[in-house]
Amino acid sequence: LAAQRAASYSGHWLSGRSTLAELQWLASRELMPLAGGPLTWAVGANLRREGLRFQPSLFAQGLLSDAGAGTVATSFDAGNLRLGDAVPMQPSSASRYVWGLLSEWQAPVAPTLTLGAAVRTDHDEYAGQSWTGKTSARWQAAPNLMWRASLGTGFRTPTLNQLRSPGRSDGVTQSHDCTAALQALAASLGVTPCTGATSYPLVVGGNGDLQPEKSVQANLGLRLEPSAGYVLGADLWAVHIHDRIGAVDEAVAFENPLAVPSAWTTVDTGSGPRLALQGRPTNLGTLMSSGLDLLASARRPTMLGVIDTQLRATVMLREDSQVYPGGPWFSAIDDGRYGAPTLKWRANWRTSLINAGWTHSLTARYQSGYDDAPMTAYPVDANGQVSGPAQQIRLKANDQVLWDWQTSWQLSGTLQVTAGVINLFDAKPPLSLNQIGPGKGQMLGYDERYFDARGRMLTVEARLTF
């Protein structure tokens, strides 16, 4: 026990600090009368300074020859790193200024037609200058029917963390078979090629070569009120993104390692250099997606009280993306092959009974299923011994509907008490073997990005306003 304590490290590992200071200014005025109302003009400006600092400990930098005793090493040695780490952290700091100017017009050219236009320019110390714009139209075709449409361009710069965070170890990948492509990649980087299935160190950090995302968005929608208290709505939308920012998926990198050389690097784990996967952000190529948002609502008085019901749903019509720059196109709708499926359907239905300060609500939350990521499995016999060759399997994550109940009581104008049950019927998440994908944590047996394993939950809330 004494030896274990002497070898243990207790103290600061990594600290960081981010700062943000911003000034905004906006002014508007009416310029002239039009057939449907005054022409309105608005101008604005903003100035923002961002700062980021990382300060790793000497241990995290690999500069302690004896971490337990705090002995400082005379030079870096891979053997001084924490067990499992392959990259020493480096102290770093970065900052940038971002400023922007905007101008916007609203023109009611007729009593039933309003046109809009906006233009904006932004300047980023790292990304340079960009111009974006948007046009829109709103047409009240009838007292109970309204059409709307818009078309615009977008620009998203990488965050300071994506650009300047220091490289660091982030564990290891899953175990992957040794392929001829992996052997060729290792040889090209001057490291010993693999000889069998193994896992690889994972390195993350910033990428100073990141380019901004650029996009085009379009929307066409309508809102219909067939009678008082009833509303129907639909919005068809499409987005086209160039140079989208993200990390090359692990499954993609191992499927075709020679096609994504930027996703690979070498590290020294104490026994010589070896191949490692880079999880840092990069520009992945193009994404094209479209979908339909639907709305139906009704609100009517009854003998029991006011019945208020609403249904919202989104259906994905298209999602095609390049899994790496210049690579093949892939649709993730209902397909978890690379660890991040896009659900084709999401819907939320809520019905409430409102009477004398009481509100009782029943909610149903629906999401469609998908094909899970492919996994390798080995058959075993009754004694738990492997009894055959490896097999590729893909599970089906089924559709799920969760029901919630909530009751609120407005005791007074300032006090409200709410109680409810989330996941009323204690539904369990579907089985998933996936362990990869953006945002995926360490949960095994289900995918916490799409499903909640906490089961039935009771909630109580009191809210006092004054």
Give pLDDT, residue 331.
Answer: 94
Based on the domain organization, do 325 and 345 belong to the same domain? no
Q: Are 61 and 90 in contact (CB under 8 A)?
A: yes
Q: What is the pLDDT of residues 33-47, one digit of tens each?
A: 999 999 999 999 999
Asked if residue 19 lies in contact with residue 51, where contact means CB atoms within 8 angstroms, the answer is yes
State the Cα–Cα distance between residues 463 and 415, nearest whole angstrom.
6
Of 304, 331, 358, the position where a domain reaches its end is 331
pLDDT the model gives residue 167: 87
Domain range for 241 = 2-331
**Domain total of the chain:** 2
357 and 222 belong to one structural domain: no
Instruction: Indicate if 326 and 458 belong to the same structural domain.
Output: no
Residues 324 and 460 in one domain: no
- Do 362 and 220 lie in a common domain? no
359 and 212 housed in the same domain: no
Quick one: CA dihedral 175, 178, 182, 188, positive or negative? positive
Final residue of a domain: which of 277, 311, 331? Answer: 331
- 109-147 burial, b for 16+ CB within 10 Å, e for fewer? eeeebbbbebebebebebbeebebebebbbbbeeeeebe
- Residue ending a domain, among 331, 364, 392, is 331
Among candidate residues 390, 393, 463, 399, the one with its CA nearest the CA of residue 430: 399
- Alpha carbons 171 and 380: distance in angstroms, whole number: 29
In this structure, are 118 and 34 located in the same domain?
yes
For residues 117 and 133, the answer to whether their CB atoms sit within 8 Å is yes
**What is the DSSP pairing of strand 201-204 with strand 273-278?**
parallel
Q: Is 186 left (phi over 0), alpha (psi -120 to 50) or beta?
A: alpha
- Same-domain pairing of 126 and 186: yes
Q: Are residues 341 and 318 in the same domain?
A: no
Strand ranges for 205-271 from DSSP E: 213-224, 230-242, 245-246, 264-268
CA distance 215 to 213: 7
pLDDT at 390: 82
Per-10-residue mean pLDDT, the chain, length 466: 75 90 96 95 97 91 82 79 83 94 97 97 92 97 96 94 89 88 92 88 91 96 95 98 91 90 86 87 93 97 95 97 87 90 96 94 97 88 87 91 96 92 95 82 87 94 91
Residues 298 and 383 in one domain: no
- Helix, strand, or coil here: 56? strand
Three-state secondary structure string covering 62-95: CCEEECCCCEECCCCCHHHCCCCCCCCCCCEEEE
Domain identity same for 76 and 147: yes
| DSSP structure class, residue 166 | P
Identify whether residues 286 and 347 lie together within a single domain: no
Two structure tokens written together for 316: 């994905």
